[in-house]
């Protein structure tokens, strides 16, 4: 039978890992399963089917539930013909025989293999913690990394009891976790070694304003602190020991110091996996068009994974189209089937990341390079507005009028406009103060309306127009909008904007 009509001989696709990227890939491939052109097996180490890891902190603080963050239903997938194996890990990949050995003793044959193994939490070198740079961490009681639902289940009783939570790490996930814990009534201490939190995304002045906002929200902030050990009482965490001998007491420690791509399985079968499984612009990890990688384990052309959910979803959707239009030929190697999706165009470049802090009490948005100062020579123009006592700060960096970087703290309207301008690549007004005044209730300045094709949800790529259409056709909640066009199903940063659009759609004309 020709490569374009393989219904009598379904292509066997094995997906290793069952996180958000894998869930999107499997979902996109379901039509091929239904048509008999593909047979899919997905292997997940956790007992849960795929869920949104970005929202694990929300589960751990009681803001949402495991059911609400689910991205796949194992029973529904099995009913659709997908072989779903939960609580199982892949031990070895034999590329010569094209088989995967599993922890339950089974072997899975494949024609195409997709690594979607994600990333594991980085564990710092601390006395009292089993440091394992190349394996899964083994942590003492009361120490978690807040990466999965089991971690969330350990955090929830501490928060519910109003206990003391110590968060180690000043990145976006650490800051969000500290805020979420405090917002739900528990004591929260953020410990980090830099001068300011989010030092990689914001400039020093913006970081100082952010630190002040965190303290105003009730978070204890401990900057320039180097942790060296955990104090254990009866085998359970009771405090974080700093290099000056001080101890930060707590009932639970959250480690949030980054992640490392899981590439050991790929490396063991001869693939390059330094800093992530190396793939080309077509997400191929080999030269035979049989092995691919997506999501947090994939280093596209050697670039480290971003760790964001949006790029992983984009890779999954692109790979599903590629597999559908490039089935394996009779003697191996992909055969193009033609059509609009067929041209040998590579995966589109990843859009520059925009960081949005998800908290009801602290507003922050940042993107691009904000290292320039107003006094630097060069093509950059830098505009700054600062009112630290009011918790407001904004910095814009432009080149020839186009925004190349910004940070906005405590200025949500300005931030929303800057995000739109940054993603559009549009020019800023000559008078930058018109943007600063967007958050001045005394002199409001109209913001440019979002167009139908402007992206509203950066994780899914859903546009304002798609959300408006979902609202017009009966979607009344964020969850219903998500089911209609996937908007709001990622990091949650666009939830308030979707709610505002739904509220406007509900008002009679």
Q: Quick: pLDDT tens for 355-397.
A: 999 787 899 999 999 999 999 998 999 999 999 999 999 999 9
Chain position carrying tokens 């009679």:
508
Averaged pLDDT, 181-206:
96
pLDDT at 509: 55
CATH class of 143-257: alpha beta
CATH class of 363-439: alpha beta
Chain position carrying tokens 């949006």:
310
pLDDT at 318: 96
- Please report, rounded to a whole number, the percentage of residues in the chain having pLDDT higher than 90: 69
Is the model more confident about 142 or about 479? 142
**pLDDT confidence bin for 334, thresholds 50/70/90:** low
Tell me phi and psi for residue 457, to 5 degrees.
-105, 105
Q: How far is CA 405 from CA 27, 395, 428, in A?
A: 35, 8, 12
Chain position carrying tokens 């407001």:
392
Averaged pLDDT, 423-447:
75
Distance CA 199, CA 187 (A): 24
Reported in sequence order, the residue ranges of 136-202 that DSSP labels E, i.e. its strands, are 143-144, 164-168, 187-191
pLDDT at 344: 53
Check pLDDT > 60 for residue 68.
yes
Averaged pLDDT, 58-70:
93
Q: How far is CA 335 from CA 285, 332, 371, in A?
A: 18, 9, 47
pLDDT at 402: 94
Q: Summarize pLDDT for 212-229 with one digit per residue, the tens.
A: 999 999 999 999 999 999
pLDDT at 361: 80
Residue 496 half-sphere exposure toward CB, CA atoms < 13 A? 10
pLDDT at 452: 76
Check pLDDT > 70 for residue 270.
yes
Alpha-carbon 456 to chain mean position: 16
The CATH 3.30.390.30 portion of the chain extends over 363-439
**pLDDT confidence bin for 399, thresholds 50/70/90:** very high
Check pLDDT > 90 for residue 499.
no
Number of neighbours of residue 193 by Cβ within 10 angstroms: 18
pLDDT at 133: 64
Alpha-carbon 271 to chain mean position: 25
Token pair in block for residue 56: 């694990």
Is the model more confident about 366 or about 334? 366
Which secondary structure element, helix H or strand E, spans residue 354, and what is its range? Answer: strand 354-356
Check pLDDT > 50 for residue 339.
no
Check pLDDT > 90 for residue 348.
no
Check pLDDT > 60 for residue 461.
yes
The CATH 3.50.50.60 portion of the chain extends over 11-120+260-325, 143-257
Pick the most confident of 167-176, 303-312, 436-445.
167-176
pLDDT at 483: 80
pLDDT at 126: 94
Alpha-carbon 270 to chain mean position: 28
Averaged pLDDT, 120-127:
92
What secondary structure, in 3-state letters, does 78-131 show?
A: HHCCCEEEECCCEEEEECCCCEEEECCCCEEECCEEEECCCEEECCCCCECCEC
Chain position carrying tokens 């033609």:
338
Averaged pLDDT, 460-487:
81
pLDDT at 191: 98
Is the model more confident about 507 or about 368? 368
Q: Among 4-13, 93-102, 294-303, 351-360, where is mean pLDDT lowest? A: 4-13
CATH of domain 11-120+260-325: 3.50.50.60
Check pLDDT > 70 for residue 420.
yes
Check pLDDT > 80 for residue 57.
yes
**pLDDT confidence bin for 441, thresholds 50/70/90:** low
**Mean pLDDT, rounded, of the chain:** 89
Check pLDDT > 80 for residue 201.
yes
Interacting residues of 115 by C-beta distance below 8 A, sequence separation 6+ = 16, 17, 265, 266, 277, 285, 291, 292, 293, 294, 297, 298
């Amino acid at each position: 039978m020709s490569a374009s009509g393989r219904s009598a001989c379904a292509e066997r696709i094995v997906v290793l890992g069952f996180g958000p990227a894998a869930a999107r890939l499997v979902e996109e491939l379901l039509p091929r399963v239904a048509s008999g052109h593909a047979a899919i097996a997905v292997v997940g180490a956790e007992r849960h089917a795929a869920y949104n890891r970005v929202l694990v902190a929300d589960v751990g603080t009681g803001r949402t539930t495991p059911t609400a963050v689910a991205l796949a239903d194992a029973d529904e997938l099995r009913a659709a013909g997908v072989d779903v194996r939960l609580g199982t890990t892949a031990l070895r990949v034999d590329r010569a025989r094209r088989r995967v050995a599993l922890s339950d003793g089974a072997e899975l044959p494949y024609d195409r293999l997709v690594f979607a193994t994600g990333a594991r939490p980085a564990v710092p070198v601390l006395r009292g913690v089993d440091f394992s740079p190349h394996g899964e961490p083994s942590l003492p009681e009361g120490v978690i990394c807040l990466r999965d639902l089991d971690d969330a289940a350990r955090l929830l009783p501490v928060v519910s009891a109003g206990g003391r939570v110590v968060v180690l790490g000043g990145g976006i996930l650490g800051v969000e976790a500290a805020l979420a814990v405090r917002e739900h009534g528990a004591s929260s201490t953020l410990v980090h070694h830099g001068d300011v939190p989010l030092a990689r995304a914001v400039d020093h002045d913006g970081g100082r304003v952010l630190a002040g906002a965190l303290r105003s929200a009730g978070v204890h902030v401990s900057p320039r602190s180097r942790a060296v050990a955990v104090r254990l009482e009866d085998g359970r965490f009771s405090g974080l020991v700093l290099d000056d001998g001080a101890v930060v007491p707590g009932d639970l420690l959250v480690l949030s110091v980054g992640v490392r791509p899981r590439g050991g399985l790929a490396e063991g079968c001869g693939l390059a996996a330094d800093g992530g499984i190396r793939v080309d612009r077509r997400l191929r990890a080999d030269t035979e068009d049989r092995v691919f990688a997506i999501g947090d384990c994939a280093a596209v052309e050697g670039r480290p994974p971003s760790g964001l959910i949006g790029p992983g979803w984009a890779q999954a959707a692109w790979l599903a189209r590629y597999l559908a239009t490039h089935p394996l030929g009779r003697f191996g190697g992909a055969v193009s089937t033609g059509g609009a999706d067929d041209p040998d165009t590579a995966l589109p470049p990843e859009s520059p990341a925009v960081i949005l802090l998800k908290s009801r009490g602290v507003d922050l948005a940042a993107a691009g390079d904000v290292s320039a100062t107003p006094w630097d020579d060069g093509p950059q123009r830098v505009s700054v507005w600062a009112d630290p006592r009011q918790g407001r700060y904004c910095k814009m960096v432009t080149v020839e009028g186009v925004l190349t970087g910004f940070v906005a703290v405590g200025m949500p309207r300005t931030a929303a406009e800057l995000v739109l301008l940054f993603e559009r690549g549009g020019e800023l007004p000559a008078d930058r103060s018109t943007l600063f005044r967007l958050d001045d209730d005394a002199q409001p300045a109209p913001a440019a309306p979002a167009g139908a094709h402007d992206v509203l949800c950066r994780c899914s790529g859903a546009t304002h127009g798609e959300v408006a259409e979902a609202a017009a056709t009966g979607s009344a909640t964020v969850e219903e909008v998500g089911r209609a066009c996937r908007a709001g199903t990622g990091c949650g940063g666009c939830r308030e904007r979707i709610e505002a659009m739904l509220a406007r759609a509900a008002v009679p004309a």
